[in-house]
Structure 1
Amino acid sequence: MTSQNTAENGKLNVAIDGPAGAGKSTVARRVASKLSYVYVDTGAMYRAVTYYMLRHEIKPEEVDTVLAHVRKLDIELIPAEGGQKVFLNGEEVSGPIRSREVTGVVSLYSQIEDLRHHLVEMQRKMALRKGVVMDGRDIGTTVLPDAEVKIFMTASVRERALRRFKELDKTEEVTLDQLEREIAARDKLDQEREVSPLRQAEDAFVLDTTSMSIDEVVEHIVTRCMEVRGEVGL
């Protein structure tokens, strides 16, 4: 059955949530490409803010200062071949925002309530016309609670650590066990934070990707979108 909220052009919004390292960004990007939708990497937005704060030595506990600066930030997500480019005040920061330094503290900044409110409003505006695939940790519960398709992607902590380990720059001295501990700690922080904690939306489809390839995950989600739109096949 086609959702009543689907736009006249037949497009809908897709919310993909899940813990760190579940592969949300890669999958969301490919799903968007298959459906000819716009991909919005909300995690990149929080990472961009975190990168800025670290560069300007603004600590997460300095909430007033953080908020004063974040209101002046211009964050752009530009589609590019093989992914997406992230610009912060006109400077491309696609690489630096993925550093372990940023990864280690992004949750501390993202739990600031007014900071989240500011970015959530930006994200909601991006989704007004439908045809958006958005991934994060609270998309289906907070950012786009009316999304027609909600996916909660997960995988074992070990598998998520292994995926991150394979993506690391070979110059970074970190062990797989260390990454596993960091991801477990990140899970705990994301689940226990007061503002928009990581949790599965009641109407989300749970997808355990531990033993699945990226292509298999993408096909599962695309098929679900087609079912919601009342279409058969891919």
Structure 2
Amino acid sequence: KWRAALALGLLLSQGGEFGFVLFAQAQRAFLIAPEAASLFGAIVTLSMATTPFLMMITKRIREEPVVAGERDGPKADGANALIVGYGRFGQTVAQMLIAQGVPVTLIDTDIEMIDVASDFGAKVYYGDGTRLDLLRQAGAGEAELILFCMDGDQISPDLVTGVHNAFPKASIYVRAFDRRAVIKLKGAPVDGVVREVLESAVKMGRMALESIGVDHAEIDRTEDIYRRNDKERLRVQSE
């Protein structure tokens, strides 16, 4: 991005110690006059002395401006989104959030899935994500999103109510196993209930992004990128 590029360009403009070696060799080889070597050395010295000040100046340039309506930066050790269940559904939701730069923390009991997620640098907690103490340990108290993406009909209205009461700041989304599960959660304090499988996962990702202020055009672009990437992965896997 242009901000990072401009800041890096300013920092790369500084001379380095190797310049002194080059100027000395050039003077001995009669390529530059002694006066020029002294002048070049002084310029390099001054540029090196200005580096700390340029670092402070470029800090403002490197920081992206906060757009109206955006939330504050990552909370709870970087966890703005807490995803419970990292199967095929949770992976889709996580990829959409990560595509928008939303930090994600995962909770799962599947050791194999945890190993895969860790390989991609995600923060993972092992255990039952329906327990309030584990959710709290994973950062639910500061999370903006809590998304239950487990397989099966595991989410009850009482559980959702307990999570909402314990972590009122978070928007809660639930993956529903079937029509009966959707009906069962009617009236529960959830921000969204979606049914399986692919289309419902994409829908949950869209709702999650919208609730944290991402505009609709960018959400459409994210969905399109995900679908194209998913189609390409499927083609490669089929071959």
Higher strand share: 1
Q: Same fold (TM over 0.5)?
A: no
Q: TM (normalized to structure 1)?
A: 0.30
Higher helix share: 2
Larger radius of gyration: 2
Q: Which structure would you say has the larger RCO, counting Cα contacts within 8 Å and 6 or more residues apart? A: 1
